[in-house]
Structure 1
Amino acid sequence: MAIPEFQTFMRPVLQEVADRGPVLTRDLTVIVADRLGLSEDDRAEMVSSGNKTRLFDRVAWAATYLCQAGLLERPRRAVLQITAAGREALQSGPERITRAWLQEVSPQFRIFSLGAAGDESDANAVAETAAAALTPDEAIRNAHRQLDEALGQELVERLVTASPAFFEHTIRELLVKMGYGEGRHAADVLGGAGDDGVDGVVNLDTLGVDQVYFQAKRYRQDIAVGSGALRDFFGALALKDVTKGIFVTTARFSESARLTAEKLNKRIVLIDGAELARLLIRFSVGCRIRETYKVSEIEEDFFE
């Protein structure tokens, strides 16, 4: 089974702490996973940042919300125990504890949810967030992904409508920012008459002894680049007597094109529109960082 959204963990967390007395958060993660029958694969699944498991993240957020609502408390670092209000919630509360319910029964949690000022104008936003059933970390990551997807789509659309020369120079800049290219002429655009079927070259060493050639093709995003284009590029690489090539397009590659690239006895890397968008954003080509949000967490060593 997939890991449930984090609100599903709140009652099991509350119940296990009630049954076992003071318990360490890290021990609680295993206990609740056993209670919910999560598989080893579920338990090992990592959040997108890769610094903790999704299971630990959701148990920790469930515990945080229960503490903010006064149903759990932390008598010492990383230890949880139930309060009288928590025991009352187990007896008379719903089978599924949610953020919306915690807001109804706990004024302190309502203040926490709406912000320190308790601004009532934010109530609708909080309700929408609660309905999404995401932890704050997950909500931030989801919003970031949506922004990147929209930005990537716009970047590719603009490249499709730009001139061929502009697109070729964009790919050159991207490759250089990715760390490819050495020497005075790290990478050059060769597009135009007499380019012998390639659009640019990247020097992998200072003297340009080892080189990679690239092909940059602008197509509408609904078009699939076929195997013929790959064979043409392969032929161009053979004329240059090189073994490495990069084929970049704003469109996508057909299955036959990908199979052709795998079978050719030259190393040809394929970058389609979706991957191109991710790389442009990652290496800040054609876009820039507008805002940076810092998310802080407790420094446990400080409290030792």
Structure 2
Amino acid sequence: MSLPTYDQLMLPLMRLLSELDQPIKISDAADVLAERSNLSEEDLNQTLPSGKNIFKDRVSWAKTYLVKAGLIQQPERAYCEISDLGRTIDLKNLNAITNEFLAQFDGFKSFKFGKKNEDESEVKTLTDAESLNVYPETQTPEEMIQTTTELLKSNLKNDLLQIIKDKSPLFFERLVVDLLVAMGYGGSHQDAAQAIGKTNDGGIDGVISEDRLGLDKIYIQAKRWENTVGRPDIQQFKGALADQVAKKGVFITTSSFSKEAIESAKKSGIVLIDGNKLTSLMIEFGLGVQIERSFHIYKIDQDRFDEDNF
């Protein structure tokens, strides 16, 4: 059973509040809805990358949309209750509450489609129907940001990988050096550059220091390949490590690893970095990419409003 979307939680939340004769904390309401959902603990414990609990966050957004429509009111911070307007809604015979349903209420339209300014001209030019299509009903605003970010990141990774594959093997070796140094390995870039791409020793393309003092070494194999890396390639690398009495090895490729290769590497303590992981690390450490635009998401600073602090 999948988690209900925030719009799917609006009707259950309204029905819960209609049963109560006093305000309830939104966190407590989320707990009640969780108990009624028959969802597993694993499902209910899912979190966003930001660390927020997905189910509780969706309940919170359901509350926000209903408040904007005037169906729920907040007598005090963190509490909510059904409003007089909300009590006029026939909840028993209602199948769902959606953004389209809420669009009949002026408060929600102002929130969703933009308020009018002093000269009565619309801030936004989209029609209500167009705006509803712009904002999917299945995701909260934070989830939409996350989904869009992941989509942009996925496209960027594909572009990065294609550029790398179009370059020479020597370029790839240098790129590996840049990445390892950016990650904190190899001491100086000069030391790392001298160490990698020099050995040609039975499957080892280079050696790099694990720390700036050079107390331990990491043996590298860097392959700009199209084909899947199989178990024999890992076995060859494993044998080369054994010849060097090496304890640590990293196999980096622009392609992918077979299931057998992954199992073989696990048994030997070899770290595998495929094309997907490679481009993820490049983005994480700012190698070959730059920030085009950034934005901030703000929240209330509760300490600032704590009267005891004044």
Counterpart of 1:133 in structure 2 is 138
Q: Any idea what SS the aligned residue of 1:133 has? A: coil
Residues 273/125 of structure 1: CA separation in 2 closer, same or farther (3 Å cut): farther
- The partner residue of 1:168 within 167, 170, 173 is 173
Q: What do you get for the CA RMSD once the two structures are aligned? A: 2.2
Measured in 2, the distance between the counterparts of 1:206 and 1:293 equals 35
Deviates more, 1:120-129 or 1:140-149: 120-129
| Aligned sequence identity (%) | 35
Residues 196/278 of structure 1: CA separation in 2 closer, same or farther (3 Å cut): same
Residues 198/46 of structure 1: CA separation in 2 closer, same or farther (3 Å cut): same
Counterpart of 2:99 in structure 1 is 99
> What CA deviation, in whole Å up to 9, does each residue of 1:62-119 have, x standing for no partner?
000000111111111101011111111245983200112111x112211211234541
Q: Any idea what SS the aligned residue of 2:197 has? A: coil
Residues 108/78 of structure 1: CA separation in 2 closer, same or farther (3 Å cut): same
Shift of 1:175: 1.3
Gaps of 5+ in 2: 117-122
Counterpart of 1:181 in structure 2 is 186
- 1:174-253 residue pairs with structure 2 within 5 A? 174-182=179-187, 185-188=190-193, 189-191=195-197, 194=200, 196-220=202-226, 223-253=227-257
2:9–2:58 CA contact under 8 A, matched in 1 = yes
2:199–2:205 CA contact under 8 A, matched in 1 = no
Gaps of 5+ in 1: none
> What CA deviation, in whole Å up to 9, does each residue of 1:158-188 have, x standing for no partner?
1111111111111111111112233575523
Measured in 1, the distance between the counterparts of 2:3 and 2:98 equals 17
One-letter amino acid of the structure 2 residue matched with residue 49 of structure 1: S
Shift of 1:56: 0.8
Q: Any idea what SS the aligned residue of 2:89 has? A: helix
Counterpart of 2:58 in structure 1 is 58
Measured in 1, the distance between the counterparts of 2:11 and 2:108 equals 16
One-letter amino acid of the structure 1 residue matched with residue 17 of structure 2: V
Q: Any idea what SS the aligned residue of 1:269 has? A: strand
Q: Any idea what SS the aligned residue of 1:8 has? A: helix
1:183–1:205 CA contact under 8 A, matched in 2 = no
> What CA deviation, in whole Å up to 9, does each residue of 1:131-167 have, x standing for no partner?
4511101100000000001101111111111111111
Residues 151/239 of structure 1: CA separation in 2 closer, same or farther (3 Å cut): same
1:15–1:90 CA contact under 8 A, matched in 2 = no
What is the TM-score of this pair, normalised by structure 1?
Answer: 0.90
1:156–1:250 CA contact under 8 A, matched in 2 = yes
- 1:1-304 residue pairs with structure 2 within 5 A? 1-20=1-20, 21-50=22-51, 52-91=52-91, 94-103=94-103, 105-117=104-116, 118-121=123-126, 123=128, 126-182=131-187, 185-188=190-193, 189-191=195-197, 194=200, 196-220=202-226, 223-264=227-268, 267-304=269-306
Residues 27/92 of structure 1: CA separation in 2 closer, same or farther (3 Å cut): closer
